Amino acid sequence: MEPRLDETARPERVGPYRLTEPIGRGGMGTVWRAWDERLKRQVAIKHIRADTRLTALRQRLWREAQAAARLNHPAIVHIYDLVEDPAGDWIVMELVEGKTLRDLVEEQGPLPFARAIRLGLDIAAGLAEAHSRGVLHRDLKASNVMVTPSGQAKILDFGLAKQLPGGEEGEDQEASISVPGTIIGTSYAMSPEQALGQALDARSDLFSLGSLLYEILTGEPPFRAANPPASLALILSHRPPSLEEVRPGVPRELSALINGLLEKDRRFRPQSAREVAEALAGLTGASAPGKDLEGSTVVEPSLARRPMSATYRSASSPGRERRRKIGEHRLLTVVCCGLVRLGEASGEAEFLDPEDLSEAMAAFQILAGEVCDRFSGRSGATLGHRLWLYFGYPQAREDDAWRAVQAARELAARSGEIGSGLPWGRPRLGLRIAVHTGLAVVSIRPGQEATLQPGPLLDITAGLQDLAPAGGILVTAASRPLIARAFTLEELPAVRLPGSEEPVAIARVVREVDPRQEGE
């Protein structure tokens, strides 16, 4: 159910702007139609509520809105003003008449190829302008693109925009409403790296553009599920059917372009919005946009299957070749368990003597194998007092992260069994456990069995496990959105871990959520 727009709560005016009627609801507040009494024009004004979850980052929001206000392109809604108010902040912007892409698809069904390509070209050109000025959108989706009566696409809501490194005019590079490990955006429309809480670049917006194009050509977003965690799981592990399978007759080059935009690994996507605009222009029968990409509204296209632009072809084909050589990328949830002795008096974790460790680890491996079988995991590498478990290989499931945490909880609860059969008495043994989700490589060579290469996932989980208390389970922000509905989590300060370039946001698993209380 759509939230009601509370017209009674609005003030009569905000600064020189007289509010007249609510016209929509954005991700962080209500949008109003207003009259600019200074310049005598209609504007849209968006209220960012004072109680929004971004209140603590208000100054950053202002800096990002200022960065977005510098954008000047026919495919981007212009921001005119920022007004500070005790009830919240107000962003004043161009009033665009028309319908959102989402509304058009709901009313008309999948759009004709020519129209979808033309609108996609407008959007790609607008993104190219934003990216050239160091600004990411981060929430591109069909409901954030307006189509005017003349057929021009206008990108709305740069309220989640982020200033990229190297932005203009010495912009403060901390001007971001995100913090390490925080996921901001619409779950089904975000990129895999955004879902994992990783650092973003322009290629994240390109993944969202691919999702948007897929939606307007098929009628449904490719990764939308029953709830946000399920949508994130689809983004990270599911490859939607090719457009050629879903909608026969689609230009082959358009299907290939969208497949490229939806690559899980950003290295194999087109590398810039300009490349995407040039590829789309090559499908219109019109000449490609110039360097500034200002002429983004094109003549009625002829859908003759022209060759894809050289720029996009050179970016995509080598990507497919590299992928064949290095293998497939799979989403993997890794559990690292560190076996420790518990102090007789303090209960604090202590390392086992080397002569005792080998016998204890042998017993632990038996227990871990049993638990892995119960939760469809796979026992992985061992090193010293550490043992790793993998969930998502050889078969990926949507609930891999949930099963990983459930296995970790059972191992923690049964850790006392490890020492019960050892010849050196009944030592108190415990586990320190860490869980992390990320991309791993599966190498596939002709005539050989596929091999898993977890890469930095092992280092990250090993480092985090060293920080866990005995009996405790720590998870990274990459796993958190996949398990948040199933477990109560306690946020902890971000930490620096081996294998990660930036601080990693972490949380402690407190308890499992009772499904009977989920809707309360």
Active site residues: 139
State the Cα–Cα distance between residues 419 and 19, nearest whole angstrom: 71
Structure tokens at 514: 């009772």
490: Cα separation from own chain's centroid: 21
**Could you identify the residue written with the tokens 């518990």?**
342
Q: Measured between alpha carbons, how far is 114 from 48 in angstroms, rounded to an integer?
A: 37
Q: Burial level of 496, CB count in 10 A (0-12/13-18/19+)?
A: exposed
Residues 6+ apart with CB under 8 A from 220: none
Q: Distance between CA 184 and CA 178 in Å, rounded?
A: 7
Report whether the peptide linkage leading into residue 394 is cis, meaning its omega lies within 30 degrees of zero.
yes
Task: Please report, for residues 337, 370, 485, the alpha-carbon distance to residue 379 in angstroms, rounded to integers and kept in the order given.
Answer: 11, 9, 26
Give just the sign of the alpha carbon dihedral 187, 192, 198, 200. negative
Show the tokens assigned to 312: 């996009």
Q: What span, in angstroms and rounded, lies between the C-alpha atoms of 471 and 96?
A: 56
Q: How far, in Å, CA of 306 to CA of 251, rounded?
A: 9
How far apart are alpha carbons 192 and 168 in whole angstroms?
27
Q: Is 381 exposed, middle or buried (0-12, 13-18, 19+ CB in 10 A)?
A: middle
The dihedral through the CA atoms of 460, 324, 392, 187 has a sign that is: positive
How far is the C-alpha of 89 from the C-alpha of 55, rounded, in Å? 10
Q: For residues 416 and 119, what is the distance between their CA atoms, to the nearest angstrom?
A: 62
User: How many CA atoms within 13 Å lie on the side-chain side of 491?
Assistant: 8
Please give the single-letter amino acid code of residue 207.
Answer: F
> To 5 degrees, how large is the angle CA 211–CA 396–CA 439?
65
Residue of 240, 241, 116, 150 whose CA lies nearest to 188: 240
